[in-house]
Amino acid sequence: YPVESIRNFSIIAHVDHGKSTLADRLLEITGTIAKTHHNKQVLDKLQVERERGITVKAQSASLFYSHEGANYLLNLIDTPGHVDFSYEVSRSLSACQGVLLVVDANEGIQAQTVANFYLAFEAQLAIIPVINKIDLKNADPERVEKQIEKLFDIPIDECVRISAKQGTNVEKVLQKVIEKIPPPQCNTADPLKALVFDSTFDHYRGVIANIALFGGEIQKGHKVVSAHTKKRYEVNEVGILTPNEQPTHKLYAGQVGYLIAGMKEVTEAQIGDTLFLYKQPVEPLPGFKSAKPMVFAGMYPVDQTEYNNLKSALERLTLNDSSVTVHRDSSLALGAGWRLGFLGLLHMEVFNQRLEQEYNMSVIVTAPTVPYKAVLSSAKLIKDRRAVQKDMLYIDERRVILKYLFPLNEIVVDFYDALKSLSSGYASFDYEDAGYQAADLIKMDILLNGNPVEELATIIHNDKAYATGKFLCERLKDAIPRQLFEIAIQAAIGKKIIARETLKAYRKNVVAKCYGGDITRRMKLLKRQAEGKKLMRKIGNVEVPRDAFIRVLKRQ
């Protein structure tokens, strides 16, 4: 396939507007997969994607298409729609010259439609608007086309109206791809320049790197060098994804495919790296801006003997999801672990689920927090923590874009759900970082008989301190077993106590009760007590089972 007959494009859209369904139809009409009724979101291969019905990982597929006597090679990348995974979208776009911007004919333009449009626009890609779900009773494609024209300045006649579900007009989409998206600008005669835009770790074959060739060609036996590590490798296999790996003799400039080259360590296949031929160095491609984590949480193995297994699982999974940041951390109660940064709560949940499902790991995850910058000064400025309105733009008489400045900790936990239920599902939401702002934050300690419990100290907004303090004290009261003396459980800001619960002392000795009774029952109780002791942590004279921390720290 000469470069002129190659088209590389992504499908981008708001959540559920039908990207993966359109991808199914494109795979079918190009004969890449057989046409059956069972093809549902074929490119959503991960178990978590199937269970949740959402795409979390961009996925490539090469399609062969003949049109008016000419043969084309189309490389399609299906991308996630949820805001937490937009890093996947921006990386995918680096391997493309154009996008299909899918918009639901009923819902119209939504938050991630706008966000994804700008990702493609800034990357200077050709944009083809596709109005999907025209089969729906309430579909109003005309209104959506007007929105697109008004907001994105794309003429109405550039839009294609389709039903991905029923296959209506999907062929037209392919024709637009050929017409409107330019072939990649590169040359097979140039030296090899391959961008690693994604990678996965295979238990048997090591690292499988997804690459886009910006110059030259590559085949088995070639020696390649990583611009990042300067390490040299011999290529074992190259191929295309259809959507499963299919080995080919060579990959040429302009193509998107995969490469296996004996990289056994996850650190060797950095996403954003450039590969070139040994002794033919090239200027490396710019790579990717690293993702900026928004939500942080501690992660610990349930059992410390699992530490090393969890470490290697984390390395392998973060290779495939490079937007997660990992730093070593430790806690007196939970042992050695890590502090992980995620792009949002859904991202955090999906990551944990993948650890469980793909690596069989069970972990303790502590309550999520957002990053703060502390200024050590006695006068902290008191500011209104409510959102500040910045902008308002009507897309048409029924839709409006509102821009607000929010404290991140106000939106991170349940804002999205609250917004959805308040607007009966009509409102959608996207955010970007606006930097640090001064705020009335305080450090709240939790005390057991006057001794601070460091795992439970939190930074919190002044207004929320009382409610959270009370909540934590109540939870701890339920989680700590009664002991031989009374325990005061308190929440404190500095020296000021803001909440208190009292855990009464034991009245009776468990063993005394059945002394003289059944000896096996007595031994069983003593054994259980001894086992329990091992998992206790002493704070002052109070014994706290490890389990209690887990119950208090864990999100419900």
Instruction: Please state the residue numbers annotated as binding site for GTP.
Output: 13-20, 78-82, 132-135
Euclidean distance between CA atoms 310 and 360, whole angstroms: 9
Neighbours of 137 (CB within 10 A): 5
How far is the CA of 137 from the CAs of 130, 162, 407, 426, 506, in angstroms?
A: 18, 14, 40, 17, 66
Q: Which of 5, 94, 140, 165 binds ligand GTP (CB under 6 A)?
A: 165
Residue closer to ligand GTP (CB basis): 100 or 348 = 100
Q: Which of 4, 51, 135, 303 binds ligand GTP (CB under 6 A)?
A: 135
User: Using the rule CB under 6 A, is 129 a contact of ligand GTP?
Assistant: no
- Asked if residue 293 has a cis previous peptide bond (ω within 30° of 0), the answer is no
Residue closer to ligand GTP (CB basis): 40 or 443 = 40
User: Using the rule CB under 6 A, is 41 a contact of ligand GTP?
Assistant: yes
Residues 376 to 435: which contact ligand GTP by CB under 6 A?
none
Question: Which of the ranges 118-126, 133-141, 303-311, 364-372 carries the binding residues for ligand GTP, by CB under 6 A?
Answer: 133-141
DSSP state string for 332-380: TTTEEEEEEEESSHHHHHHHHHHHHHHH---EEEPPPB--------S-P
For residue 449, give both structure tokens: 């008989």
User: Using the rule CB under 6 A, is 32 a contact of ligand GTP?
Assistant: no
Smallest gap from Cβ 55 to ligand GTP, in A, equals 3
* In the complex, residue closest to ligand GTP by CB: 81
Euclidean distance between CA atoms 161 and 133, whole angstroms: 8
User: Using the rule CB under 6 A, is 20 a contact of ligand GTP?
Assistant: yes
Instruction: Please give the sequence-ordered ranges of beta strands (E in DSSP) within 142-294, or none if there are none.
Output: 160-161, 193-202, 206-215, 217-219, 223-226, 232-234, 237-241, 245-248, 250-252, 256-260, 274-277
Residues 51 to 70: which contact ligand GTP by CB under 6 A?
54-55
Residue closer to ligand GTP (CB basis): 102 or 192 = 102
For residue 522, give both structure tokens: 């007595």
Pair 469, 444: CB distance under 8 Å: yes
User: What SS3 state is found at 422?
Assistant: helix
Question: Which of the ranges 13-21, 90-98, 293-301, 454-462 carries the binding residues for ligand GTP, by CB under 6 A?
Answer: 13-21
Residue closer to ligand GTP (CB basis): 14 or 316 = 14
Smallest gap from Cβ 109 to ligand GTP, in A, equals 14
Smallest gap from Cβ 349 to ligand GTP, in A, equals 14
User: What SS3 state is found at 232?
Assistant: strand
Smallest gap from Cβ 133 to ligand GTP, in A, equals 4
User: Using the rule CB under 6 A, is 81 a contact of ligand GTP?
Assistant: yes
Q: Which of 163, 320, 331, 409 binds ligand GTP (CB under 6 A)?
A: 163
Closest listed residue to residue 222, CA positions, set 234, 239, 240: 234
User: Using the rule CB under 6 A, is 322 a contact of ligand GTP?
Assistant: no
Q: Which segments are annotated as binding site?
A: 13-20, 78-82, 132-135
Residue closer to ligand GTP (CB basis): 133 or 347 = 133
User: Using the rule CB under 6 A, is 316 a contact of ligand GTP?
Assistant: no
Q: Can you list the alpha helix ranges (DSSP code H) found in 423-518?
A: 465-479, 510-514
List the end-to-end C-alpha distance of the chain, in Å, as a whole number. Answer: 54
User: Using the rule CB under 6 A, is 18 a contact of ligand GTP?
Assistant: yes
Amino acid identity of residue 477, one-letter, is: K
Residue closer to ligand GTP (CB basis): 54 or 364 = 54
Q: Which of 7, 57, 133, 546 binds ligand GTP (CB under 6 A)?
A: 133
How far is the CA of 525 from the CAs of 72, 244, 508, 546, in angstroms?
A: 74, 56, 14, 19
Smallest gap from Cβ 430 to ligand GTP, in A, equals 13
Size of the site for ligand GTP (CB under 6 A): 20
Closest listed residue to residue 369, CA positions, set 464, 447, 280, 434: 464
SS (H, E, C) 121-163: HHCCCEEEEEEECCCCCCCCHHHHHHHHHHHHCCCHHHCEECE
User: Using the rule CB under 6 A, is 15 a contact of ligand GTP?
Assistant: yes
User: Using the rule CB under 6 A, is 266 a contact of ligand GTP?
Assistant: no
Amino acid identity of residue 5, one-letter, is: S
Q: Which of 8, 21, 113, 274 binds ligand GTP (CB under 6 A)?
A: 21
According to DSSP, the residues that pair with 301 across neighbouring strands are: 363
User: Using the rule CB under 6 A, is 13 a contact of ligand GTP?
Assistant: yes
Binding residues for ligand GTP, rule: CB under 6 A, are 13, 15-21, 41, 54-55, 80-81, 132-133, 135-136, 163-165
